[in-house]
Structure 1
Amino acid sequence: MEPDPDNNSSFGTEQKGRSVAAHAINFRSIAPIVIACLGFIVFLDWAQAVLLPLVAGIMISYALDPLVSLFDRISMPRPISAAIVLSGLVAVLVLAAIPLQTQTMKMVERIPDAVRQFERESAAKPQSEGMMEKAQEAAKEIEESASKSEEKSQPSRVQATAVRVVDEPFSIREYLLDRASGAIIMVAQLFSVLFLVYFVLATGKLYKRKVVRLSGPGFHGMRRAARMLNEFHAQMRRFIFVMLLGAVFVGVVTWLSFIAMGVEQSLLWGVIAGVASAIPYLGPLLVFLGAGAAAFIQFGSLDMAILVSGVSLVITSIQGNLLTPWLTSRVSSLNPVVIFIGLLFWGWLWGPVGLILATPILMMTKTLCDHVKNLQGLGELLGK
């Protein structure tokens, strides 16, 4: 019995219609997710003034929590221990800011001299010129002389009118108001971060107990929530500790190495290298280029610039390839591609502070996804 061609054509049309319908259904299911992601990005940009201090305060509280926990062993009230630790941190930052300010001013004062030196060297013409360059200059001179002779032969019909350009007077009041507004916003955000860190450290495990109670009345549900929060808290503490230890290692070793090589503003370079170590890939590259340029300006020697840049590269390589992997053996690691994309995204969204907070935010997201059953697929995607 031969197959009916009409039935075959109808069957093919039906299959094609089903595939088109399935494609439309998939598109309809993905479209709300895409719209929600775009709306979330817009919200992050719009609420930057609130979210940035909030995230920074949470990260700092994770870094200071081990110190506050040490005072818990001697039965000191947690609000008092949090105040002591936070006051000590502020005192250290203020004392370190005094020499750093002096070295920063010296470095800034040298920038115009370096720019002028670069302009003089770039503007200097070589002594020997090729035949093509001489021919081009001769043709240019002939063209200019011909244009001048034509201008002299034609009478000028339009008389030139002198125009006097008057600059607007400098307003000290407007200058101070513009500067003061930015300074007030920065100081307000700094105080908001400090207060947030204090309250998070002072309350301790209060919010963790509340989350456990909200997880449900059952004992097994509360136990599972408590275990998840403990693992999340411990993993974030380890990660922040590794970041701080790596930054201290890079900063101190860079400072001592630059002192040994006679590099000026070595303390400032140590601080810059320590802070930049929190930015994977981009931070060490910026220190490598900046230290080499500063050494070339100071010593005027390419060999010395290569030596200083090489030392900074060796220090960051030890921190990135030996120290950090050894310390993060018990901490879940991130995918390098995800880290780089996160740096681009958070740097574009929140600027330099976003670059520093990008890796901790990604680590917090991955740790949360690893402990939530419905998000474990996303956690696997973020990890190695």
Structure 2
Amino acid sequence: MMSTDAIAAVAANDDPKQDPAPVEQLSAETPITGPLAPFSPHGPTHVRSVCLRILTVLALVFALQWAQKFLIPLVFGIFIAYTLNPLVVWLERIRVPRVFGTCLVMAALVLGLGQVGYSLRGEFQSIMERLPAAAHQLSRAIVNAKNQGGQASTIQKMQAAASEIENAAGQATGVKPDSKRQPPAVVAAAPFQLSEWIWTGSMGAMIFIGQAAMVTFLVFFLLLSGDTFKRKLVKLTGPSLSSKKIAVSILLEINTSIQSYMFMLLVTNALLAVMMWIVFRWIGLENAGAWALAGGFLHIIPYFGPLLIAVATGITAFMQFDSFYMMLLVAASTLVIATLVGTFVTTWMTGRIAKMNAAAVFIVLLFWGWLWGVWGLLLGIPIIVIVKVIAKRVDGLHAVAELLSD
């Protein structure tokens, strides 16, 4: 028979009020920590935010590369429309209707480009016809320079050193190098098909003409629409007056920055082309007008454009004068002119317009060149100017604006 104290102890243990918590309640409500803790989809907010941003950036880069055939003409047409819009606005101020003003500006642009191309067509055709002879002459000059003086070239010295090392290794291991080693089988190259080359070139020319026509019509309709798209973008920002003010300020700053940047490119590249034409005529380089025009166009590409035109004009000078001295003179003259214009004019105007640091500009060029090739090098700087303007006005993108600013 149980005592009173034992019965009281059993009753106390059976009382649910005295029980701290059942085992099931502890396992359900008490969080499990340590290496056995299960994965929770509701993790730290900043980690999920960073992951989402990284995935968004990767998706955006993939979309830009996938749609480049559509985006490149579109962006190019928008920038040209931004450049020509002040002329149409000026014609409107002198009581010329926008339709007639747009037609006049586009007709002047097309006729001007056609006249320049027609006047320089002979020089460009001469350059293209001399390309095979230039390659043969340059390779022969390099071979002659290697063999001059009877001294072995660096590659020949390296080959001789490799043979000596192979002989020494064979003597150390007791294995004689196989002097009668069979040469690798030579695979005969496919014969050159002239018809295929002509077909490929014709298709490339047709694609370029089609894209140029699309850009021309796009510029025409953008100039004709005026501020219609800007007003629609402001309406899409929402009913809030503050958001509309921010959208208007962003559009105005983008408009000013792009127009100023394109005007700067026009002035600096025209100045560089004129200076190159004067120097090439003074040296006596053939097709000076065509090379000056190509130099002015390639100078749009920062850093890489002047190097390309220097190499091209240097090879042309060597073909014409058959002298390394003249090749170096022409290439150095091109680089000096590009450096003067780029240092004193372009840098000053870009600093006042874009206010971006040189490292950011170079990284932007590398990125857009990898993404869109040559067209990316041409359009990269205007695109990043727009990105900087937007990032400066949006709260979540201030870090991007700070990285791009000088």
| TM-score normalised by structure 2 residue count | 0.74
- In the superposition, relative to structure 1, how do residues 115 and 93 fare at CA in structure 2: closer, same or farther (>3 Å)? same
Is 1:70 the counterpart of 2:86 in the alignment?
no
Cα offsets for 1:124-182 (capped at 9, x unmatched): 4446468x99xx8xx9xxxxxx97xxxxxxxxxxxxxxxxx9x889695x666544433
- In the superposition, relative to structure 1, how do residues 317 and 169 fare at CA in structure 2: closer, same or farther (>3 Å)? closer
Is 1:191 the counterpart of 2:213 in the alignment?
yes
2:276 matched to which residue of 1? 254
What is the alpha-carbon distance in structure 2 between the residues aligned to residue 326 and residue 60 of structure 1?
23
- In the superposition, relative to structure 1, how do residues 303 and 32 fare at CA in structure 2: closer, same or farther (>3 Å)? same
Is 1:225 the counterpart of 2:230 in the alignment?
no
Is 1:54 the counterpart of 2:66 in the alignment?
no
- In the superposition, relative to structure 1, how do residues 98 and 207 fare at CA in structure 2: closer, same or farther (>3 Å)? same
Contact 2:134 2:316 (8 Å CA) reproduced: no
| TM-score normalised by structure 1 residue count | 0.78
1:79 matched to which residue of 2? 99
Question: Which secondary structure does the structure 2 equivalent of 1:217 belong to?
Answer: coil
2:16 matched to which residue of 1? none
1:115 matched to which residue of 2? 135
Is 1:271 the counterpart of 2:293 in the alignment?
yes
- In the superposition, relative to structure 1, how do residues 338 and 328 fare at CA in structure 2: closer, same or farther (>3 Å)? closer
What is the alpha-carbon distance in structure 1 between the residues aligned to residue 265 and residue 89 of structure 2?
19
Is 1:287 the counterpart of 2:283 in the alignment?
no
- In the superposition, relative to structure 1, how do residues 122 and 318 fare at CA in structure 2: closer, same or farther (>3 Å)? closer
2:323 matched to which residue of 1? 301
- In the superposition, relative to structure 1, how do residues 176 and 380 fare at CA in structure 2: closer, same or farther (>3 Å)? same
The amino acid of 2:287's aligned partner reads Q
User: Which residue of 179, 203, 227 corresponds with 1:205?
Assistant: 227
2:377 matched to which residue of 1? 355
Contact 1:279 1:359 (8 Å CA) reproduced: no
1:238 matched to which residue of 2? 260
Contact 1:100 1:268 (8 Å CA) reproduced: yes
- TM-superposed deviation, 1:215: 3.2
Q: 1:154-165, aligned counterparts within 5 Å?
A: none
What is the alpha-carbon distance in structure 2 between the residues aligned to residue 353 and residue 84 of structure 1?
28
1:95 matched to which residue of 2? 115
Aligned residues: 343
What is the alpha-carbon distance in structure 2 between the residues aligned to residue 109 and residue 379 of structure 1?
48
Query: Relative to structure 2, which stretch is displaced further, 74-83 or 182-191?
Result: 182-191
User: Which residue of 237, 256, 261 corresponds with 1:215?
Assistant: 237
Question: Which secondary structure does the structure 1 equivalent of 2:366 belong to?
Answer: helix
Question: Which secondary structure does the structure 1 equivalent of 2:353 belong to?
Answer: coil
What is the alpha-carbon distance in structure 1 between the residues aligned to residue 213 and residue 151 of structure 2?
62
What is the alpha-carbon distance in structure 1 between the residues aligned to residue 362 and residue 220 of structure 2?
32
- TM-superposed deviation, 1:71: 0.3
- In the superposition, relative to structure 1, how do residues 38 and 93 fare at CA in structure 2: closer, same or farther (>3 Å)? same
- TM-superposed deviation, 1:24: 7.5
What is the alpha-carbon distance in structure 2 between the residues aligned to residue 307 and residue 121 of structure 1?
17
What is the alpha-carbon distance in structure 2 between the residues aligned to residue 344 and residue 53 of structure 1?
20
User: Which residue of 323, 330, 337 corresponds with 1:315?
Assistant: 337
RMSD: 3.4
Contact 1:232 1:371 (8 Å CA) reproduced: no
The amino acid of 2:282's aligned partner reads A
Cα offsets for 1:35-90 (capped at 9, x unmatched): 22222222112211110110000111111112112101112121221111111111
- TM-superposed deviation, 1:335: 2.5
Is 1:370 the counterpart of 2:370 in the alignment?
no
Q: Quick check: which has more Rg, 1 or 2?
A: 2
Query: Relative to structure 2, which stretch is displaced further, 199-208 or 214-223?
Result: 214-223
What is the alpha-carbon distance in structure 2 between the residues aligned to residue 120 and residue 183 of structure 1?
32
Question: Which secondary structure does the structure 2 equivalent of 1:280 belong to?
Answer: coil
Cα offsets for 1:337-372 (capped at 9, x unmatched): 222222222222222122111111111211222233
2:9 matched to which residue of 1? none
- TM-superposed deviation, 1:282: 0.9
